[in-house]
Structure 1
Amino acid sequence: MLDPWTLALSPVLFVQGKWVRLRTPKLPEAPGPRSGEQGQGPPLSLMIIGDSAAAGVGIEHQHRALTGKLAEQLQSHCRLSWQLHARSGLNTGQALHLIDAINAEAIDVVLVSLGVNDALSPVSRQRWLNQTAALTHTLRRRFQPSLILLTALPPLGAFPGLPWPLSAHLGHRANRFNRALSQWAAPQQDIGILDLTTGATLLTEHLAPDRFHPGEPVHQHWAELATAHIRPLVPSPAPDQTAP
């Protein structure tokens, strides 16, 4: 159910939403491979599932987007096999169907980038949270990951390409979604939350040319946050037994 403030402003929000979609440049997803293997050491498998941000929209190449940055940071610690399943416009409900089509066995780590397209839609916070719970359940059943990393929604209210009151409305929704996500995930030991606003220069200062998608510095920071969660899963190399 819509709150009174949103209901009163819904005609304005609808018009502004259409205006933003018309004037926002449509940038392509980053070109480059979406699976690979690199590095040396203990084996680790990684799957990234998500929306246009995970697909690297506005980034020159996949090796400069999240997947490439993360692989670069992990390759010195493990033999990493990775795969990316992402497309522009994907929401959480659609991701459930995407997972069903993935041909893979056990995966050590799954990183998820979803929620922005849900916040941009009329879906309620509770329905989105239920879909997120169903998504993590499906990931556990299909791939038995040791760790699932969920990416928090960015501060939509601060995005320069969004006019007021649309920015205030979306910022409010993003904050509510994030609070619900944190409370739901807190007791689950195999779930981590990646908050891209933590320990970084203001996220909205490093956007792609469309002033909506994350720019390369954000992808770098995103990968660093994920690496901090993933590194403890990589076994330390055995001590050299040949030394006298």
Structure 2
Amino acid sequence: MLVVLETRSKHLISPQLTPQALKARKNATSLSEPPGHRHGVLGSGPDLHLLIVGDSSAAGVGAPRQREALSGQLTQALAESYRVSWRLVARTGSTTRTTLPLLRAQDVQDTDVALVVLGVNDVTSQIPLKRLLHHRAELYRRLFEDWGAKRVIATGIPPIDKFPLLPNPLRWLLGLQARRFDHALARQAASMGVDYMPFDVPLTPQMMAEDGFHPGPNAYHLIGKKVAAQILHR
């Protein structure tokens, strides 16, 4: 993998970082997606149909079981107020582009809230920002139009320069790119009626998984609570 730092006029390719990038990618994929249900019904009260779409963080990598991953933490928090019918469509390594065919392969169901958890792999895959925004717009349109989502919520890209796994200067370069992508995605979301939630969970060692790249159960707990509060707020 080559690291590309985009500027307004050109791409700065850093082939000397290839060994760092290859080693980081290998270590980042060392953890498996946790076992557990990927759909179900939980709680009592008004019906809430929830769809979670995304990458390894959506799939719960870094947690021992789905119950302690994002889907479990979020649905448990929402189940205090709703009867939650939920579904998880996520895969390790997914980018916004590769999520589109994955979503098309699913049986469409009524959706009140769709949660999109993507971004890190968009940065590391070196996709040009303009193309990323095109794919993300298509994803949002599919969720609104095909799935009938009443609300779409997207989580922001975490500060990659805080990931313990990554060495410098690779960490610095990817962190810079992540911030640039995150700002652009936030502006796009606002223009399309999507709730964009900046990533504000501290990435301390206690919050990270053992691989130093994915969230751990403590981080999933906080993220689940924050997303639940965002949903309950409206």
Return the alpha-carbon distance in structure 1 between the equivalents of residues 26 and 51 of structure 2.
Answer: 33
What are structure 1's unaligned runs of at least 5 residues? 234-244
- 1:219 matches 2:223: no
In the superposition, the TM-score normalised over structure 2's length comes to 0.91
User: What is the CA-CA distance between 1:38 and the residue it aligns to?
Assistant: 1.2
What are structure 2's unaligned runs of at least 5 residues? none
Which residue identity lines up with residue 225 of structure 2 in the other structure?
E
Rate the CA distance shift 1:158–1:188 in 2: closer, same or farther, 3 A: same
Which residue identity lines up with residue 229 of structure 2 in the other structure?
A
Which residue identity lines up with residue 61 of structure 1 in the other structure?
R
Which residue identity lines up with residue 160 of structure 2 in the other structure?
L
Return the alpha-carbon distance in structure 2 between the equivalents of residues 212 and 195 of structure 1.
Answer: 18
1:56-75 residue pairs with structure 2 within 5 A? 56-75=60-79
1:75-224 residue pairs with structure 2 within 5 A? 75-189=79-193, 191-197=194-200, 200=201, 202-205=202-205, 206-224=207-225
Give secondary structure in 1 for the equivalent of 2:57.
coil
User: What is the CA-CA distance between 1:160 and the residue it aligns to?
Assistant: 1.5
Number of aligned residues: 228
Rate the CA distance shift 1:99–1:24 in 2: closer, same or farther, 3 A: closer
- 1:30 matches 2:34: yes
User: What is the CA-CA distance between 1:141 and the residue it aligns to?
Assistant: 1.5
Return the alpha-carbon distance in structure 1 between the equivalents of residues 226 and 130 of structure 2.
Answer: 27
User: What is the CA-CA distance between 1:187 and the residue it aligns to?
Assistant: 3.4
Aligned to 1:240: none
User: What is the CA-CA distance between 1:48 and the residue it aligns to?
Assistant: 0.4
Aligned to 1:21: 25
Rate the CA distance shift 1:143–1:16 in 2: closer, same or farther, 3 A: same
Identity %: 38
- 1:52 matches 2:53: no
Give secondary structure in 1 for the equivalent of 2:87.
strand
Larger Cα-atom Rg: 1
Q: Which runs of 4+ in 1 moved over 6 A?
A: none
User: What is the CA-CA distance between 1:85 and the residue it aligns to?
Assistant: 0.7
